Amino acid sequence: MIIAIDGPAASGKGTLARRLADHFKLRHLDTGLTYRAVAAALLAKGLPLGDESVAIEIAQHLDLAQMDKSVLSAHEIGEAASRIAVLGGLREELVNLQRKFAETPPGAVMDGRDIGTVVCPHATVKLFVTASPEARARRRTDEMISKGNDASYASVLEDLKRRDERDSQRTVAPLKQADDAVLLDTTEMDIEAAFEAAVDIVSKAA
Ligand code: CDP
């Protein structure tokens, strides 16, 4: 069983994916972390984000079990991740890794931007999770403040819109709802309501 979850930044897909994995006893991969891990390694080496051959080499040695979400969730790493995510050869490398993870029994919940369209086009069920930019910016700001970071709603909203634009407009694997994905708009839902709606969608499809 493969559950594919795609959607824009701060739509709540990560939390949903984790809870669905728990509920259905599946493994979980946040594919955004793979882009973040490569971006973080480039930043740490002081290399340009456009250096695709080094990015590919880093991806070839990436250990999914060693990715540390608390380190990789830094704001500047997210921004750098969306910049390297336009590199086609790098994406191919990461998509291969992600597919292997998804296809290992008993299956997985995969969250990202291109799971339903590229990584797992034959997933058992596909969800496209979204919310208004304002709701997403509010959630991301609250999350940053609760972690003790400085955050202003206005600049978070601006960043989100810029990243949405970059992710949706790129030519390789842009963020887009798969034809057979079910849309889940969480603008007016808290996490509990969104989780119940998602379980309902998955149960009907599986
Ligand atoms: O958590 P948040 O939505 O802020 O970001 P993320 O899911 O960690 O993804 C960071 C960046 O990686 C995104 O802005 C995308 O550009 C890229 N990404 C991608 O291109 N394809 C994926 N399957 C996952 C992430």
Mean pLDDT of 120-129: 98
Q: Residue 29's pLDDT band (boundaries 50, 70, 90)?
A: very high
**Of the residues 113, 126, 139, 169, which should be mutated to test ligand 1's pocket, given the most ligand atoms within 8 Å of the CB?**
113
Report the nearest-CA residue for atom 21 of ligand 1.
Answer: 113
Report the nearest-CA residue for atom 14 of ligand 1.
Answer: 82
List, for residues 39-57, the tens digit of each pLDDT value.
Answer: 999 999 999 999 999 999 9
- The rounded Å distance from CA 148 to ligand 1 centre is 23
- The rounded Å distance from CA 81 to ligand 1 centre is 7
Please tell me the pTM assigned to this model: 0.94
How far apart, in whole angstroms, are the C-alpha atoms of residue 158 and residue 137?
9
Burial 89-124 (b: 16+ CB within 10 A, else e): ebbebbbebbeebbeeeebbbbbbbbbbbbbbeebe
So what's the pLDDT on residue 66? 95
* Domains of the chain from N-terminus onward: 2-205 (3.40.50.300)
85 in ligand 1 pocket by Cβ < 6 Å? yes
- The rounded Å distance from CA 167 to ligand 1 centre is 8
List, for residues 51-104, the tens digit of each pLDDT value.
Answer: 999 999 999 999 999 999 999 998 899 999 999 999 999 999 999 999 999 999
So what's the pLDDT on residue 154? 97
pLDDT of residue 206 exceeding 90: no
